[in-house]
Structure 1
Amino acid sequence: MSKVIDYYLTLISPWTYLGSQRLAEIAARHGAEVRVTPVNFGEVFPRTGGLPLAKRAPERQAYRMMELKRWRKHLDIPINLEPKFFPANDRLAACMVLAAAETGGKPLELAQAFGKAVWEQERDIADEDTCKAIAQETGHDAEALLAKAQEEATQKRYDKQTEDAIARGVFGAPSYVYKDEIFWGQDRLDFLDRALSEG
């Protein structure tokens, strides 16, 4: 494929989840490849001027909740506004997504399933058994994927992708990069769609 979208995400972002299906549809329509690239935004935020949710001003937290309600209604996606297992350490799940990409699996589908687990199903993606179950549900060999995710090389790749994301100018999730142009946020998907239409 000549069109490639680098998709920088964290699996626990509601915005990542809200945009995930539309991204898949846009990419399919344009015949574009999506390189699913989970990164550690716990490292990205302090180095790019961002703050984790708990440290943001009350006004910003309140507006975030208002926007989540708007987008939930607009997209008709039944997300829980305050899920039971949020925030969660998504490192293992992220490395399983990387492992799926490296072994011919379905990384985009797996990433979507992890997002759904957090935002719709009240499941803890920091839990190894939960991660294995989700991998199995998406048609992967859960044990093999887990073993690959836990390899030192996969762990190092996750860390390197985080560094690479910062070097490219990524500061928030989700970010879609096409031809070195960053589209930050699921509310920028229309602009990504137009860029793909232009070639």
Structure 2
Amino acid sequence: MTVQIETYYDFRSPYAYFADFRIRKAGLGFPAGVEWVGRPIFIDVILNLQSGREPWAPYVDTLIPPKRAYLMADIRRMARFYGAPLKPSWKWPNRPNQIPALCVASLLSGAVEQAFRSAVFDGLWHEQRDISDPMVLREAVARAGGDPEIVQQAGDPGVRDALTQRTVDAYASGVFGTPTFVWNREIFFGADRLDVLAWKVNREAAER
């Protein structure tokens, strides 16, 4: 059975990184041949739309201090739980600029996009690399088997505009955060829902 699972992600999401790590590590019980179709999106655009603002309105941090403290603790806890290396080069309130990497990812597809995605997640979350640096992105594309020249193409403002519109469309279809997985028009949100997704895929396969 050919299984295509749409994977909505933003590199700045630690939980999207955990999901990518879990998928690469395997052992989740998915049938052979699953295709993880990358769908990069801008998390800031999603958050703005949720709050009734324009897609590229200035960022507003809506987390109250107790929730921020919980989030920071939970990221460290889940990294240990999943065995995922975690040593980011940035600390809150500083935020990495993931936009150039997302624009590059939006121009890639198939195995190249998937390998680039993993390389950027690793670079941001434990290799302490600047994922906004064109040289870092060119290297990641080359390691993924793509043409590094695509990094220059991704700098066209039209690429960012197109990705913004795709994010708006994703939100309209029910995607409200990252990571989100869509299979058979059913939404699964969070790295911890991969197990449930595998159960659903295998259940349907058994019923055929």
Query: Could you state the TM-score of these two structures normalised by the residue count of structure 1?
Result: 0.85
User: Does residue 124 of structure 1 match 2:130?
Assistant: yes
| 1:131-150 correspondence runs (5 A) | 131-143=137-149, 145-150=150-155
Query: Conserved in 1, the CA contact under 8 Å of 2:31 and 2:202?
Result: no
TM superposition shift of 1:111 = 0.8
Decide which of 64, 83, 92 is 2:89's aligned counterpart: 83
TM superposition shift of 1:17 = 0.7
Q: Provide the rounded CA distance (Å) in 1 between the counterparts of 2:60 and 2:33.
A: 35
Query: Could you state the TM-score of these two structures normalised by the residue count of structure 2?
Result: 0.82
User: Does residue 39 of structure 1 match 2:45?
Assistant: no
Task: Tell me the residue number matched to 1:182.
Answer: 187
Query: Conserved in 2, the CA contact under 8 Å of 1:175 and 1:184?
Result: yes
Q: SS where residue 140 of structure 1 aligns?
A: coil
TM superposition shift of 1:157 = 3.2
Q: 1:196 to 1:30 in 2, by over 3 A?
A: farther
Query: Conserved in 1, the CA contact under 8 Å of 2:124 and 2:130?
Result: yes
Q: SS where residue 38 of structure 2 aligns?
A: strand
Q: Where in structure 1 are there 5+ consecutive unaligned residues?
A: none
Task: Tell me the residue number matched to 1:6.
Answer: 6
Query: Conserved in 2, the CA contact under 8 Å of 1:105 and 1:140?
Result: no
Q: SS where residue 12 of structure 1 aligns?
A: coil
Task: Tell me the residue number matched to 1:113.
Answer: 119
After superposition, what is the alpha-carbon deviation per residue over 1:69-115, rounded to whole angstroms, capped at 9, x for unaligned? 221111111212x53276222222112112221xx651111111111
Q: 1:181 to 1:49 in 2, by over 3 A?
A: farther
Q: Please tell me the root mean square deviation across aligned C-alpha atoms, in Å.
A: 2.5
Q: Which moved more, 1:14-23 or 1:148-157?
A: 148-157
Q: 1:62 to 1:53 in 2, by over 3 A?
A: farther
Q: Provide the rounded CA distance (Å) in 2 between the counterparts of 1:100 and 1:27.
A: 27
Query: Conserved in 2, the CA contact under 8 Å of 1:30 and 1:196?
Result: no
TM superposition shift of 1:128 = 1.6
TM superposition shift of 1:146 = 1.3
Quick one: percent identity of the two aligned structures?
Answer: 26
Q: SS where residue 7 of structure 2 aligns?
A: strand
Task: Give the paired residue count.
Answer: 194
Q: 1:121 to 1:182 in 2, by over 3 A?
A: same
Q: Provide the rounded CA distance (Å) in 1 between the counterparts of 2:161 and 2:29.
A: 28
After superposition, what is the alpha-carbon deviation per residue over 1:143-174, rounded to whole angstroms, capped at 9, x for unaligned? 2x213423566434312220221111111111
Task: Tell me the residue number matched to 1:22.
Answer: 22
| Structure with the higher helix share, 1 or 2 | 1
Q: Which moved more, 1:86-95 or 1:118-127?
A: 86-95
Q: Provide the rounded CA distance (Å) in 2 between the counterparts of 1:125 and 1:158.
A: 18
Query: Conserved in 2, the CA contact under 8 Å of 1:6 and 1:35?
Result: yes
User: Does residue 72 of structure 1 match 2:74?
Assistant: no
Q: Provide the rounded CA distance (Å) in 2 between the counterparts of 1:61 and 1:111.
A: 26
Q: Where in structure 2 are there 5+ consecutive unaligned residues?
A: 53-58
TM superposition shift of 1:60 = 0.7
